[in-house]
């Protein structure tokens, strides 16, 4: 996974204390880390050339554990 080049907000590895058995092995690190911010989060992707792209965004809530907390 490439390091975030334009960080906004706060990053954390809070999810590293949990197991994510339903996530593919190659995605484990993704679900172990998080970024949060009190304002809007914006992501910028530098595109090398014009064309059609597919962007897959994956999100996981790792901080809250019980129903109704989120």
Q: What is the pTM of this model?
A: 0.50
Task: State the pLDDT at residue 51.
Answer: 92
* Structural domain count, the chain: 1
22-67 confidence digits (pLDDT tens): 888 888 877 777 777 888 877 777 888 999 989 888 877 777 767 7
Six-digit token string for 63: 């901080």
Six-digit token string for 35: 């970024």
Rounded CA separation 68/14 (Å): 20
- For residue 69, give its domain range: 1-70
Contacts of 12 (CB under 8 A, 6+ apart): 33, 34, 35, 36
């Amino acid at each position: 996974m490439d390091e975030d080049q334009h960080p906004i907000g706060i990053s954390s590895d809070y999810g590293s204390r949990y197991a994510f058995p339903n996530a593919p092995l190659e995605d484990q690190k993704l679900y172990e880390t998080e970024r949060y911010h009190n304002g809007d989060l914006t992501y910028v992707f530098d595109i090398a050339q014009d064309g059609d792209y597919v962007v897959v965004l994956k999100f996981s809530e790792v901080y809250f554990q019980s129903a109704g907390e989120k």
